[in-house]
Amino acid sequence: MSADSSQTILEVDGLKVYFPIISGLMRKVRGQVRAVDGVSFDLRVGETLALVGESGCGKTTTGRAILQAVQPTGGRITFMTREGDRVSTISAARDVQSIIRQEIQLIFQDPFASLNPRMTIFDIVADPLMANRLSRGRELEERVTEMLRLVGLSPDYMRRYPHAFSGGQRQRIGIARALIMNPRLLIADEPVSALDVSVQSQILNLMQDLQEQLDLTYLFISHDLSVVQYISHRVAVMYVGKIVEIAPTDDIFSAPKHPYTQALLSSVPIPDPEVRTRGGALEGEVADPANPPSGCYFHPRCPMAEEICRETEPPFAEVSPGHFSRCHFYADLDLPGVPE
């Protein structure tokens, strides 16, 4: 709950990840998919920033770039280590990389694909330590036991294989594996969207408890705004490789300053038959990141688009402290947010 503490843990500055489109026998590069196109944000120690958007908006790629699982095309990612050193995660030296690997970990979406089916729970959870030769023998076993307890699993089950566990339990195992390296930043890529509703809340609550206990920082990647609302301090909305709005959670839900954020909010079907959400659906489809529209990428679907939107790309303007929007009309917008 230390969202206002000023200590920064991660700075992402102008991050770009382009994927070449290769075709033909000669493997010619025909174009580029701008998966992430100039994304900047920073994360403060102990906070949860949600990265929200529809499929293909670049939120997952952003996470993978921070983890060095994809090579950025441009931009800077700076991480503050436990010792207080500022290190760049891109093309870092080997010893720096190993620090980053320990301090930044990932939680996956699919609890079935993310655990090696051929390994026991013990081996899965212990593997990060074994791979880095950080622990062995009794000590390792104790550490795994501790981790399993921490995520609410009985250590009695650690000789079993993943197929013996339900989706929720597997997700706990995945969290234990991520935590065993004692990380400070966790990137959670849709951690609950593959789970049943009744289990989803267990995992969200667990993540909140762990954050308080271990002073973790989360980058919570999700498409589900109603989930985001429970866990995040700030929300960044992405559309076609760019952040279109970033603000504290309250502002995003009650006073959004970008028409796309509003569209996302009005599209969520509300589990209450008395509140009708029909009628707010957006026209058209998400733009193609290989061939984005001119000006503001959102203009072909935007109900408020004007001439300027087709021609010039809007700046990322500060609406109020900590609230930025990429819309020409941010100052005049009076969007309702979540219906009362």
Partner 1 sequence: MTNDSDTLIRVEDVRTHFFLDEGVVKAVDGVSFDLARGATLGVVGESGCGKSVLARTIIRIVPRPGRTIDGAIWYHRPSEGGGERPIDLASLEADGAEIRDIRGGEITMIFQEPMVSFSPVHTIGDQIVEAVTLHRNATREEARAIAVDTLRRVGIPNAESRIDEYPFRLSGGMRQRAMIAMALSSNPTLLMADEPTTALDVTTQAQILELMADLQEEFGMAMMLISHNLGVVAQTTERIIVMYLGKVVESADVRTLFRDPKHPYTQELLKSVPKLRRRRQTERLAAIYGSVPSPYERPAGCPFHPRCPQFMAGECDVIEPTLKAVSEGHSVSCLLYSEETDS
Partner 2 sequence: MASASVPVERADGAQSAYAASQWKLVWWRFRRHKLAMAGLAVVIALYVVSLFPEFLAIADPHERNAKKLYLSPTPVQILDGWLPMPFVYGLKSERNPETLALEFEPDTSKKYRIQWITRGYEYKLFGFFTTDWHLMGLDTEDDLAAFHILGTDRMGRDLWSRLMLATRISMSVGLLGVIISLFLGILLGGLSGYYSGAVDVTIQRMIEFLRSIPTIPLWIALAAAVPRDWSVVKVYFAITVLISFIGWTTLAREVRGRFLVLREDDFVIAARIYGSGAMRTIFRHMVPNFISHIIATTTLAVPTMIIAETSLSFLGLGLRQPVISWGVLLFEAQNIRAVSSAPWLLVPGAFVLLSVLAFNFMGDGLRDAADPYSIHG
Residues that bind partner 1 (CB under 8 A): 54-55, 166-169, 196-202, 204-205, 208, 223-227, 229-230, 232-233, 248-250, 253-254, 263-274, 276-282, 285-286, 337-338, 340
Of the pair 68, 208, the CB lying nearest partner 1 is at 208
CB-based contacts of 98, cutoff 8 Å, min separation 6: 132
> Closest distance between partner 2 and the C-beta of residue 175, in Å?
12
**Residue given tokens 């700075």 in the structure block:** 11
Distance CA 15, CA 38 (A): 5
Q: Spell out, one character per residue from 219 to 258, where the chain touches partner 2: x when CB under 8 A holds, - when not.
A: ----------------------------------------
Question: Restricting to residues 174-213, which ones interact with partner 2 according to CB under 8 A?
Answer: 174, 177, 181
- Could you tell which of partner 2, partner 1, none binds residue 71, using a CB distance below 5 to 8 A set by kind? none
Measured from the CB atom, is 123 or 313 closer to partner 2? Answer: 123
Is residue 67 involved in binding partner 2 (CB under 8 A)?
yes
Closest approach, Cβ 274 to partner 1, in A, equals 7
- Residue 101 or 329: which CB sits closer to partner 2? 101
Tell me the C-alpha distance between 36 and 66, whole Å: 12
Helix (H, G, I), strand (E, B) or coil at 262: helix
Angle at alpha carbon of residue 12, lines to 7 and 18, rounded to 5°: 170
Angle between helices 167-179 and 137-150 (to 10 degrees): 130
Contact pattern from residue 131 through residue 160 relative to partner 2, giving x for each residue in contact according to CB under 8 A and a dash for the rest = xx------------------------x-xx
- In the complex, what is the shortest distance from the CB of residue 234 to partner 1, in angstroms, rounded to a whole number? 10
- Return all residues near 184 (Cβ < 8 A) that are at least 6 apart: 9, 45, 82, 103, 104, 215, 216, 217
* 297-299-300-303 Cα dihedral, nearest 10 degrees: 140
Specify the stretch interacting with partner 2 by CB under 8 A; choose among 9-17, 95-103, 274-282, 321-329.
95-103
Distances in whole angstroms, Cα of residue 207 to Cα of each of 49, 61, 68, 176:
13, 22, 23, 11
The CB-of-79 to partner 1 minimum distance in angstroms stands at 26
- Note the residues at the interface with partner 2 (CB under 8 A): 67-69, 97-98, 101-102, 105-106, 108, 110, 112-119, 127-128, 131-132, 157, 159-161, 163-164, 174, 177, 181
